[in-house]
Structure 1
Amino acid sequence: MSSLRTSRTRLAGAAATVVLAALSLTACNNGTGVHDEGASAATTPTADSSSGALPSGSGSGSSSPEARSATGTKRPVADTSASKAPVSSGKPVTCEGSNTKTVAAPLNRPVNHMLLTVTNTGRVSCHLYGYPAVRFGEAQAVPPVIEDSRPQAVVTLKPGESGYASVNLSATDGSGSNGHTVNSLTVYFHGRSGNESVGAGAHPSLPAKGVYVDDSLKVTYWQQSMDDALDW
């Protein structure tokens, strides 16, 4: 009986020795003294979806910035540096024949009137100073302006916009003198001072039969709206 108890004690001691040896080996392998049973499998890094788009000009050397989606897939980001070219910010110039288009249209109402329409065909705004200096046919004098038609501010036309003036061709009651028919018209433009014409003149077409004018011929100042021009 004594020998049996001794054998069991030896076996238990041997088993304990084997366990202690195994723990010692595990501690030596990971350097912590604790064995993590779940650490044997390699951990695969995943994309950090919280990082968002890469900042432009971050120093990565890439000319086309990219963003990373939640799945880790890269996608191109629009390059806002190549936006549309800015609209021209040049200073306004004086409206004249080279940067505008002028149309002359006889009117039924008011009778014996003609409407001049000037459209800015340039790339910057232009100012219509004063009133149109019109020359019908071979006339030597510029007809007078209706002073009461002076606007409160200089007419300014953005590219594509139009300004207006009306021309009283002849007296409606027949009181005008030296009436005659003309077949050509030249429109000159005033500068800021209003004392002389500037730039090129315009040569709008007249009806094939011409227009009738007399000594009562006069014009309005340039107006921002057609209705204001037709009031006179």
Structure 2
Amino acid sequence: MRMRHIRLLAATGTAVAALALTACGGGTGTEDEGASGPTAARTDATKTAGSASTGGSGSNSGTGGSGGSGSHGTGGGTAGSTADGAPVARTHAPGAQPDTSAGHSTKGGSAGGSVVLCNGANTTVTAQPLNRPLNHLLLTVKNTGGRTCELPYYPVLRFDGMQWVPQADRDTQPQAVVSLAPGASGYAGVLLSAADGSGTGGTTGHKLTVAFQGYTPNSSGGPSATPPLPAKGLYYDSSLKVTYWQQDPGAISSW
């Protein structure tokens, strides 16, 4: 009787141990049920978010899929276009340092070859005093070379041994760099002196030097030009200033 009681207790202990093992997750009980619940939901949500962000196979991958490789994806979608979708006139990146020597190209150009900078080596420059507006001078630059040339910014003027540089009227800055095909001309206006006499330090200049800028402000664009002046010279004072280069003289006719 005693042996039978011991065997019964042993069998009962084995059954309890097996049940405890199952309840503690030693098999595939409670823990597995939990894995197919919240954890599985989080995994599905992650997959869904991943598909949406990459424009996978949903509506984002169609014609409206800019969320993928368009402008919001790589950031390069429309980097070369204008905000309104129209092409812009050519501009130049700050810091660019082109080869400014005559005959050397600065970038791909027109049918006439590579585009170069306009300067005293490939142009002729004239300085024409104007009766209207009063005390004004018109600079004309004609491309005499065989390639299209460009006139960035404005002319840098110096009368005789003048030690200061006339400033440009920023209200005359054009939308694009002036580009001259062979034989074409560009223009700039010069205010020599104040009509009301408010200028100071007035003097007469007998030699005018016109310097050309490169594609960065105040950089050299190549050789200067010295257009002939009237024999009596030109009177100027502290009001001396210039316009930006223009494609059309009408843009500065009333300046």
Report the TM range for the smaller structure's normalisation: 0.5 to 0.7
Partner amino acid, structure 2, of 1:107: L
Does residue 125 (structure 1) correspond to residue 148 (structure 2)? The answer is yes
Larger radius of gyration: 1
Give the count of matched residue pairs.
146
Report the secondary structure of 1:200's partner residue.
coil
Matches of 1:133 and 1:98, distance apart in 2: 16
Deviations 1:6-60 (A, max 9, x none): xxxxxxxxxxxxxxxxxxxxxxxxxxxxxxxxxxxxxxxxxxxxxxxxxxxxxxx
Q: Which region of structure 1 is more displaced relative to structure 2, 136-145 or 101-110? A: 136-145
**Aligned pairs (5 A) from 1:8-47:** none
Match in the other structure for 1:110 = 133
Partner amino acid, structure 2, of 1:178: G
Matches of 2:205 and 2:218, distance apart in 1: 26
Report the secondary structure of 2:231's partner residue.
coil
Does residue 175 (structure 1) correspond to residue 235 (structure 2)? The answer is no
Report the secondary structure of 1:194's partner residue.
coil
Does residue 211 (structure 1) correspond to residue 211 (structure 2)? The answer is no
Matches of 2:254 and 2:152, distance apart in 1: 19
Aligned residues of 2:112 and 2:146 also touching (Cα < 8 A): no
> After the TM superposition, which segments of 4 or more aligned residues of structure 1 sit over 2 Å from their partners?
none
Identity fraction in percent:
55
Matches of 1:197 and 1:139, distance apart in 2: 18
Match in the other structure for 2:175 = 152
Partner amino acid, structure 2, of 1:135: R
Gaps of 5+ in 1: 1-86
Report the secondary structure of 1:221's partner residue.
coil
TM-score, normalised relative to structure 2: 0.56
Gaps of 5+ in 2: 1-109
Match in the other structure for 2:166 = 143
User: By percentage of residues, which structure has more strand?
Assistant: 1
Aligned residues of 2:151 and 2:179 also touching (Cα < 8 A): yes
Matches of 2:224 and 2:154, distance apart in 1: 13
Report the secondary structure of 1:201's partner residue.
coil
Offset of residue 197 of structure 1: 2.2
Report the secondary structure of 1:174's partner residue.
coil
Report the secondary structure of 1:228's partner residue.
helix
Offset of residue 196 of structure 1: 1.7
Calculate the aligned-residue CA RMSD, in Å.
1.2
Offset of residue 137 of structure 1: 1.3
